[in-house]
């Protein structure tokens, strides 16, 4: 029976690369000859497959999706389905999530950012040069996630047109060109397509996100706090119940949960101080808190409140001021 290490050389080897704070695994696979299908070889192959699965790729190189991808987003099954199909497509398909403020657009992108080889950027603080540098890097992302794409300038939109069209990206350096073809799937989010070039929008499959109901907001907040903030289910439910009627933004719940450190009394106090309004319907703005009544000053004489006049006739001017007209003394004959 061949030595285990010799079988390992034949079956393949796993190369460990430190990437950021995590450990990425890359395998250079070699098909084992038919006469080396030993028990040790099979065990090694199974071990390699397990390591690769933990790294986010299967032995054939396809991306393995997290089991809980999109689990924090309530409803929106159609949008989830389209995004999942785009992830599994053989060729890139651009997806543009369009919706009003706080319709889970950013949460979609943050969920996708959990995928191996994904890069999340904000178009508002990214330049053309910065985008090109990302795309021409050796570790070019497989998934480019762009939040607030409606804030991208024209030069950045030119680059995205090329990426979504031919996939050819060029960086000009004096007289020399640095260019390559990239295979990138772009997911982007925006509040509106105004400001985006029509030809760029046409390269995307646009998904209109509807606004969430209060019950959906509560479930989204509760799931987000448990799954992404590691908050206890009981505390998450209490915070969600407090926050959902007051705001459409899950980030408000995130901040209150972090500031209160698991203390529900403090969470209630923070909710009253930071989110005093209420949301009556999906997408509506929180109503402002009631203003304190002003101290009563001198009583003005108006049409609605005119005290008993002194002797003489009283008339009210156009400006609302009561004027007392005293009777004129009769002249003596």
327 in a structural domain: no
Residue linked to tokens 């009631």: 290
Residue 321: pLDDT band (50, 70, 90) is low
Residue 308 lies in a domain: no
Would the pLDDT of 257 be above 80? yes
143 with 201, same domain: the answer is yes
Distances (CA, A) of 50 to 27, 46, 58, 305: 12, 6, 8, 83
Say whether both 195 and 247 belong to one domain. no
Residue 172 lies in a domain: yes
State residue 4's pLDDT score. 43
Has residue 250 got a pLDDT over 80? Answer: yes
pLDDT surpasses 90 at 172:
no
- Give pLDDT, residue 316: 60
The verdict on 115 and 194 lying in the same domain is yes
Based on the fold, state whether residues 116 and 40 are members of the same structural domain: no
Residue 91 has pLDDT above 70, yes or no: yes
**Amino acid 277: pLDDT:** 74
Instruction: Measure the CA–CA gap between 166 and 188, rounded to whole angstroms.
Output: 18
pLDDT at 271 over 70: yes
- Domain-located, residue 312: no
Kindly report, residue by residue over 278-310, the tens digit of the pLDDT: 664 444 444 444 454 454 555 444 444 445 555
Q: Would 111 be classed as within a structural domain?
A: yes
17-21, 127-131, 137-141, 241-245: range with lowest mean pLDDT: 17-21
Structure tokens at 123: 């178009």
Q: How many domains does the chain have?
A: 3
- Place 163 in a pLDDT band, splitting at 50, 70 and 90: very high
CATH number at residue 121: 3.40.50.300
Give a yes or no: residue 164 inside a domain.
yes
Co-location of 203 and 81 in the same domain: yes
Give the integer Cα–Cα distance in Å for 231 and 222. Answer: 9
Query: Of 254, 274, 294, which residue constitutes the final position of a domain?
Result: 274
Q: Is the model more confident about 29 or about 96? A: 96
Does residue 131 contact residue 155 with C-beta atoms inside 8 Å? no
Same domain, 198 and 83: yes
Do both 203 and 89 map to the same domain? yes
Indicate if 85 and 161 belong to the same structural domain. yes
Cα–Cα distances (Å) from 157 to 36, 96, 146, 152, 197, in that order, read: 53, 14, 12, 6, 8
Of 64, 56, 52, the closest CA to residue 11 belongs to: 52
Specify whether 199 is located in the same domain as 227.
Answer: no
Query: Do 197 and 140 share a structural domain?
Result: yes
What domain range is 240 assigned to?
A: 214-274
Question: Does one domain contain both 138 and 191?
Answer: yes
Encoding tokens for residue 17? 């690369």
3-state secondary structure of 299: coil
Query: Which residues are within 8 A (CB) of 227 and not within 5 positions of it... i.e. 6 or more apart?
Result: 68, 71, 72
Q: With a cut of 70, say whether residue 44 has pLDDT above it.
A: no
Q: Are residues 89 and 177 in the same domain?
A: yes
């Amino acid at each position: 029976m061949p030595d285990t290490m010799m079988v390992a050389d034949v079956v393949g080897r796993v190369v460990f690369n430190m990437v950021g704070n995590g450990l990425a695994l890359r395998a250079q696979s070699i098909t084992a000859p038919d006469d080396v299908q030993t028990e040790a070889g099979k065990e090694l192959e199974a071990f390699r497959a397990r390591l690769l699965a933990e790294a986010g790729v299967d032995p054939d190189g396809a991306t393995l999706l997290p089991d809980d991808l999109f689990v924090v987003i309530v409803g929106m099954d159609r949008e989830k389905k389209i995004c999942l199909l785009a992830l599994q497509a053989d060729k890139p398909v651009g997806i543009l999530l369009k919706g009003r403020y706080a319709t889970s657009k950013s949460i979609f992108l943050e969920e996708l950012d959990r995928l191996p080889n994904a890069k999340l950027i904000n178009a508002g603080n990214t330049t053309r040069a910065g985008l090109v540098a990302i795309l021409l890097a050796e570790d070019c992302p497989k998934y480019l996630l762009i939040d607030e794409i409606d804030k991208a300038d024209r030069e950045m939109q030119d680059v995205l047109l090329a990426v979504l069209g031919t996939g050819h990206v060029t960086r000009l350096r004096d007289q020399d060109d640095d260019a390559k073809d990239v295979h990138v799937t772009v997911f982007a989010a925006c509040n509106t397509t105004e400001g985006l070039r029509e030809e760029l929008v046409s390269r995307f499959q646009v998904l209109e996100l509807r606004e969430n109901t209060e019950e959906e907001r509560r479930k989204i907040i509760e799931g987000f706090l448990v799954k992404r903030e590691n908050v206890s289910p009981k505390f998450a439910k209490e915070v969600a119940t407090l926050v959902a009627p007051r705001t459409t933004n899950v980030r408000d719940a995130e901040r209150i949960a972090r500031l209160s450190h698991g203390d529900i009394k403090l969470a209630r106090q923070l909710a009253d101080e930071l989110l005093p309004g209420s949301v009556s319907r999906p997408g509506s703005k929180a109503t402002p808190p009631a203003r304190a009544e002003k101290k009563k000053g001198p009583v003005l004489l108006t049409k609605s409140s005119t005290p008993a006049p002194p002797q003489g006739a009283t008339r009210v001017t156009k400006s609302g001021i009561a004027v007392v007209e005293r009777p004129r003394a009769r002249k003596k004959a």
